[in-house]
Structure 1
């Protein structure tokens, strides 16, 4: 566990809250962990976490929230610490790796742009935000904007903040498709054999 975290908030679908609490109680002994209900959209979940923090610990200008997706189980301590370090300079931090494939933007089945690959990155998590700055911007947005902007770093960009980039890692993969799960299982097995 990362000692620098004051609290570890697990935001989860309401139907799975008790199950998550039971699993954590069984396998992890850390009283910093709390399980709360997530929201219907990603930013609703972020706001639920922010509301929990404010209700239980108050509001401080330098508070940051480091957000990580459970579908990326191989995040490293180095990535997390880089996010924390960069949050001292930036109001938002995104984790990314340089694109190895050419990125193609298409609309209606036709290529409309092929950006220069050396400027393209693939976003990962964690993402880190200054809580006050994010909340101020998010609450000014229309409901439609809140639903459309599912990326916290983009919300901060729209607010005019510079977003720092923490170097990600290929191993910090997202498990989305059955093939990803096969790769993740192979990585997990390899790590357990060591």
Structure 2
């Protein structure tokens, strides 16, 4: 089993949730969303290190959560994130120690299944990069700046990307270093790797691995985690 380092960007605001607390630190059923998310990764056998990128204001809170949620012997670090998500992950990569693979996972996806994480690790070990996602349920339209439809891609080739996204450490380091050098902003971690020509495979996940973004997502998360009200 290859060793895995986990990076979690956790600096998202609660603005779209109409909440004053940043999303990862909102509590559901007595635990922060970040704690619920970490609990999905602690059973992963190869996990050796966790790095959390968050705001300066919540840095100590993130450390406290790691101490409570992670095994006592787990190596972890918390740092202040950058201006954009990509900047935060670039900074976090500098803190990764000895690891064969690096997984990046959204702090506010607390329902990813551990078995899917394991599958993603296996694929990344094999081909170099793996991304969890689900086939698109709806027809996707491509439009121009005036909202005029210009194309209808064939749906069987379209997937909605989730996290984790897992890569061999040297590949992800190269991709982020190249993006930093060329001032390239990608849409996700995989887009940085893809542009260098490396293979990235999709691993089928579940629609339950949703990202808590809007108030309705928070309501559903509370329901799934058994919190009433």
Question: What is the TM-score with the length of structure 2 in the denominator?
Answer: 0.73
Q: Which residue of 2 aligns with 1:31?
A: 73
Which ranges in structure 1 are unaligned for 5 or more consecutive residues?
Answer: none
Q: Which residue of 2 aligns with 1:163?
A: 200
Q: How does 1:28-67 map to 2 (within 5 A)?
A: 28-32=70-74, 33-54=76-97, 57=98, 63-67=100-104
In the TM superposition, what is the alpha-carbon distance from 1:30 to its structure 2 partner? Answer: 3.2
In the TM superposition, what is the alpha-carbon distance from 1:165 to its structure 2 partner? Answer: 1.2
Q: Which residue of 2 aligns with 1:135?
A: 173
Deviates more, 1:176-185 or 1:118-127: 176-185
User: 1:23, 1:95 → 2: CA distance?
Assistant: 25
Q: How does 1:42-191 map to 2 (within 5 A)?
A: 42-54=85-97, 57=98, 63-108=100-145, 109-141=147-179, 142-145=181-184, 148-189=185-226
Asked if 2 retains the 8 angstrom alpha-carbon contact of 1:94 and 1:165, the reply is yes
Secondary structure at the aligned position of 1:118 is classed as helix
In the TM superposition, what is the alpha-carbon distance from 1:27 to its structure 2 partner? Answer: 4.9
Q: What is the RMSD of the two structures over their aligned residues, measured on CA atoms? A: 2.0
Asked if 2 retains the 8 angstrom alpha-carbon contact of 1:129 and 1:152, the reply is no
Asked if 1 retains the 8 angstrom alpha-carbon contact of 2:117 and 2:164, the reply is yes
C-alpha deviations, 1:43-100, integer Å up to 9, x for none? 222222221124xx4xx7xx21011101111011011101110111122111110011
Higher helix share: 1
Question: What is the TM-score with the length of structure 1 in the denominator?
Answer: 0.85
Change in Cα spacing, 1:25 to 1:135, as seen in structure 2 (3 Å) is closer
User: 1:106, 1:14 → 2: CA distance?
Assistant: 39
Which ranges in structure 2 are unaligned for 5 or more consecutive residues?
Answer: 1-41
Secondary structure at the aligned position of 1:7 is classed as strand
**Do structure 1's residue 18 and structure 2's residue 86 form an aligned pair?**
no
In the TM superposition, what is the alpha-carbon distance from 1:26 to its structure 2 partner? Answer: 4.2
User: 1:176, 1:48 → 2: CA distance?
Assistant: 24
Structure 1's consecutive aligned runs of 4 or more residues displaced over 6 angstroms after TM superposition are: none
Secondary structure at the aligned position of 1:112 is classed as strand
